[in-house]
Amino acid sequence: MTAEVICVGTELLLGDILNTNAQFLAKQLAGLGIPHYYQTVVGDNPERLKQVLEIATARSPQGGGLARTQILLFTGGLGPTPDDLTTETIADFFNAPLVERPEVIEDITRKYAQRGREMTPSNRKQALIPQGADILPNPAGTAPGIIWQPRPNLTILTFPGVPSELKRMWQETAVPYLKSQGWGKQIIYSRMLRFWGIAESALAEKVSSLLDLPNPTVAPYAGQGEVRLRVSAFASSETAALELIKPVEQEIQQIAGLDYYGADNDTLASVVGQLLQSSGQTLSVAESCTGGGLGQMLTTISGSSSYFMGGVISYDNQVKISLLDVNPEDLAQHGAVSDLVAQQMAIGVKQRLATDWGVSITGIAGPGDGTETKPVGLVYIGIAAPDNTVESLKYQLNPQQERSLIRQMSACQALDLLRRKLLANSSRR
């Protein structure tokens, strides 16, 4: 059994967009233990798409039973516009007629009505499905995909190119389907361990003895301030894989200490959320250079309203004075980017919003506004604690980084600082 990924879209060949779908599907196939040897990108061109189909189907694997099965995963070209050609081209290749499916018409009509709009004539072609194919529903978008076996031992699944729609269709329909067909018996299962406050090379050296293990394997990654270790096990089930992974994970956690903050879907925001939730404490934020980004991060967590009350975006200095009670003379003398102002912002928002904790960020995101004494990337983070003490820490982020990265890393740094203080506080109780 093998699976190939075929991404359809001229925008990929023009380099307009990054092919994240290919990575997602490859990772998913690895997770299901389905061998995957080829990916192809082709444009919105029926002749070339048919050539690709010819080549891919000629590569059908040898062997008996399940081993002989081939899966072709297509992304893109399911939209309503003239250059969306995937479904009709695939049907044409296998000489199957297209049939208009009324349930798809109904579904598209209903989705448009919900948004106060009407379905347009061009949407009708999205309801044309090859005869004999099943519909792969697309709850978050308009165009459905198909699950189709046009000939024995060949299964075709099509998805739209929009990554969020594809991922949802994959999880909700494709994975259960593939598992029901018997795939995914041996799996590769991974846990992604996350670290903040330590460089990749430093962490890799701390865990160097673990980087040569055969199963599970440990691989380091880094990006945007975060460092990760992927621990992957090849086993017959998730449970068996975890039995291999857990001891290694525990050893890594012991070695890394507080630099380890979570795994997989944990984020600094979710971990901080859990700590606040279990202590029953509340939080507010006072943001300058991040402009609301810290609040945005905290509120990505559904249910954050139980601990996050809100905050003040004091982008302008006058707002720091009027809404956060920062002393105008201190502001004038020390500047907004200073320990003193960071502390006053933190205490100010804590008091104004009557929360247990107050966190502030003030800094220079760049690319302009840096000086010799206060360069781009300089950030102060203030933390006001439940006992009304307040402290601030100074960070110098790499000034060569883009504005957006400096802002993102500042917000993460603030979350990590709060995380460590919450952990220290909870161990004292």
Site for a copy of itself in 129-148 (CB under 8 A): 139-140
Angle at 357 between CA 356 and CA 361, to 5 degrees: 160
To a copy of itself, the closest distance from the beta carbon of 369 in angstroms equals 8
Q: Decide if residue 276 touches a copy of itself (CB under 8 A).
A: no
To a copy of itself, the closest distance from the beta carbon of 102 in angstroms equals 19
Q: Decide if residue 52 touches a copy of itself (CB under 8 A).
A: yes
Choices 15-23, 179-187, 253-261, 326-334; region in contact with a copy of itself by CB under 8 A: 15-23
Q: Which of 36/148 has CB closer to a copy of itself?
A: 36
Q: Decide if residue 18 touches a copy of itself (CB under 8 A).
A: yes
Give the C-alpha separation, 342 to 344, whole Å: 6
Applying CB under 8 A, the site for a copy of itself has a residue count of 121
To a copy of itself, the closest distance from the beta carbon of 249 in angstroms equals 17
Angle at 221 between CA 207 and CA 18, to 5 degrees: 170
To a copy of itself, the closest distance from the beta carbon of 95 in angstroms equals 23
Which residues within the stretch 53-72 sit at the binding site for a copy of itself (CB under 8 A)?
55, 59
Q: Decide if residue 376 touches a copy of itself (CB under 8 A).
A: no
State the chain's maximal CA–CA distance in angstroms. 82
Q: Which of 144/366 has CB closer to a copy of itself?
A: 366
β strands within 111-225, DSSP E: 128-130, 134-136, 145-151, 154-159, 187-196, 217-223
Question: Which of 43, 132, 184, 386 is in the footprint of a copy of itself by CB under 8 A?
Answer: 43
Q: Rounded to whole angstroms, what are the CA distances from 386 to 21, 247, 359, 420?
A: 45, 37, 12, 15
To a copy of itself, the closest distance from the beta carbon of 377 in angstroms equals 9
Choices 88-96, 150-158, 203-211, 257-265; region in contact with a copy of itself by CB under 8 A: 203-211
Is there a contact between 388 and 344 (Cβ–Cβ < 8 Å)? no
Question: Which of 237, 250, 300, 371 is in the footprint of a copy of itself by CB under 8 A?
Answer: 300
Q: Decide if residue 386 touches a copy of itself (CB under 8 A).
A: no
To a copy of itself, the closest distance from the beta carbon of 105 in angstroms equals 14
Q: Decide if residue 257 touches a copy of itself (CB under 8 A).
A: no
Question: Which of 63, 223, 254, 387 is in the footprint of a copy of itself by CB under 8 A?
Answer: 223
Closest CA to 81 of 120, 115, 136: 120
Burial 74-109 (b: 16+ CB within 10 A, else e): bbbbbbbeeebbbbebbbbbbebebeebeebeebbe
Single-letter amino acid, residue 93: F
Q: Which of 58/429 has CB closer to a copy of itself?
A: 58
Q: What is the DSSP letter of 142?
A: S
Single-letter amino acid, residue 178: L
To a copy of itself, the closest distance from the beta carbon of 127 in angstroms equals 13
- Give the H or E element holding residue 166: helix 163-169
Q: Which of 262/292 has CB closer to a copy of itself?
A: 292
Which residues within the stretch 163-192 sit at the binding site for a copy of itself (CB under 8 A)?
164, 188, 190, 192
- Residue by residue, DSSP assigns 82-114 as TT--HHHHHHHHTT--EEE-HHHHHHHHHHHHH
To a copy of itself, the closest distance from the beta carbon of 375 in angstroms equals 9
Q: Which of 148/308 has CB closer to a copy of itself?
A: 308
Bridge partners of residue 134, in order along the sequence: 147
Q: Decide if residue 41 touches a copy of itself (CB under 8 A).
A: yes
Is there a contact between 324 and 336 (Cβ–Cβ < 8 Å)? no
Report the Cα–Cα distance between both ends of the chain, in Å, rounded: 56
Choices 86-94, 149-157, 246-254, 284-292; region in contact with a copy of itself by CB under 8 A: 284-292
Is there a contact between 150 and 94 (Cβ–Cβ < 8 Å)? yes
Q: Decide if residue 215 touches a copy of itself (CB under 8 A).
A: no
Which residues within the stretch 64-123 sit at the binding site for a copy of itself (CB under 8 A)?
79-83, 111-112, 114-117, 120-123
Question: Which of 23, 131, 209, 278 is in the footprint of a copy of itself by CB under 8 A?
Answer: 23
To a copy of itself, the closest distance from the beta carbon of 419 in angstroms equals 19
Angle at 326 between CA 320 and CA 332, to 5 degrees: 90
Question: Which of 57, 186, 253, 299 is in the footprint of a copy of itself by CB under 8 A?
Answer: 299
Residue indicated by tokens 């199957």: 96
Choices 97-105, 244-252, 361-369, 417-425; region in contact with a copy of itself by CB under 8 A: 361-369
Q: What angle, 0 to 180 degrees and rounded to 10, lies between the N-to-C axes of helices 268-279 and 403-428?
A: 30
